[in-house]
Structure 1
């Protein structure tokens, strides 16, 4: 809730840097059509055009694409990012981050310039192996295809960790928005199916309750009524889950609604004040804490759903990047005793 000032409640305000960024890119954005394939195509073109205008150039670091089989569902492509120009040597024992991009389950992917640049920068700055998962889009593919693809990718990474120059004992999972939903789902699937060690989960503005029951409209501008935001959210959810409303209550669809959060990995959760999904992220942080899971939750004031990805352009995004990198770098040393014990 906004805090009272002089006896009145103050509505949250947009960060000036975010406002300048939005004004800068607005003329570059072509309107997206309503059909899913057309919307996906135009959104990709917008990403390419905006990235070029902003001077976003991905680092020249080593990568390799692999195709991972998924039992009962389409295979999923993953891209391995190494921190330097050459792949890490086998057995280099680097931490690994398995990451799921955000795009409302319907757009985006690892080939988008903005996401590719972000993955390269994070792998380089943290000195880790990052494996980005190009899970399928809805509505062409619907739940449970996406969480099963993400689970298979996680299993593949663990099986090939040493070959990739990483450590099977220093694997983290992470995701943003819809990808945060999938990352949290993978931690539940892992607990239920295999209980492999996961050192950390990183959730950035995650969608975690697809019933839209925890959405927080307190920071939405008066020009964008909450009913419109909720309607748009439900349309995306329907494309992903289908018409059966009960599917949204399944734990691998809405991790926040799982019956138990015991035994999940430590978490870093980032939320933005002006993002309706802030309610999801902060409620999940409380659920994890109540279950005895170590969790750090950070709310960025004046930020929107997408602004924390704009490093080099918005100071708060730079701060979020430094926080994530610092957290990932702890995996280089913090798990050393556990690695030796496990061996």
Structure 2
């Protein structure tokens, strides 16, 4: 069994994968599409450059909607220890990961930084920055070959994992 999510759902998928690991449950994989792994993207160059192209919106409103509390989020706030995948410190033992980001996505840097931290922790990771796309545009598979390619990655990753597991069942 695997887990996946798009945008804020990618953040939640990363958090659930870490909770599953900490609870002794083994997930086979995680798929993170244009993941919003941090509530502090306003500090990223990709946010400054591409936020006008996206519907990501005002971060204070996003934080309020996500946390149910107004105002800025203090990264050291103990009331919110499990709000951002980017804040997971222990990455060893997380499931193999597919991470897709979009070239012109304000969330791009956070997702790419998170994926870059997985490999040194021993987590097999496949990453692809989909060229020419905005946040949320990977769903336009009817008109975009690169969106279709992204969706093929999303479909093939768990399928490849399933074939590997079927060929080499755990002993």
TM-score bin (small chain):
0.7 to 0.9
1:246 is aligned to 74
Higher relative contact order (CA closer than 8 Å, sequence separation 6+): 2
Deviates more, 1:321-330 or 1:249-258: 249-258
1:72 is aligned to none
Q: Distance in 2 between matches of 1:239 and 1:246?
A: 16
Q: 1:218: how far off?
A: 6.1
The TM-score with structure 2 as length reference comes to 0.85
User: Would you tell me which structure has more strand in proportion to its own residues?
Assistant: 1
User: Would you tell me which structure has more helix in proportion to its own residues?
Assistant: 2
1:295 is aligned to 125
Q: Deviations over 1:267-323 (max 9, x none)?
A: 000000100110111001111112121111100111000111111121111111112
1:179 is aligned to 9
Q: Distance in 2 between matches of 1:219 and 1:265?
A: 32
Q: Where in structure 2 are the equivalents of 1:107-126 lying within 5 Å? A: none
Q: Distance in 2 between matches of 1:270 and 1:243?
A: 30
The DSSP-based 3-state class of the residue aligned with 1:246 is coil
The DSSP-based 3-state class of the residue aligned with 2:32 is strand
The TM-score with structure 1 as length reference comes to 0.44
Aligned length: 166
Question: Does 2:103 align with 1:273?
Answer: yes
Q: Distance in 1 between matches of 2:141 and 2:125?
A: 24
- Give the structure with higher Rg (CA): 1
CA RMSD of aligned residues (A): 2.6
1:233 is aligned to 59
1:201 is aligned to 30
Q: Deviations over 1:136-169 (max 9, x none)?
A: xxxxxxxxxxxxxxxxxxxxxxxxxxxxxxxxxx
Q: Distance in 1 between matches of 2:81 and 2:97?
A: 18
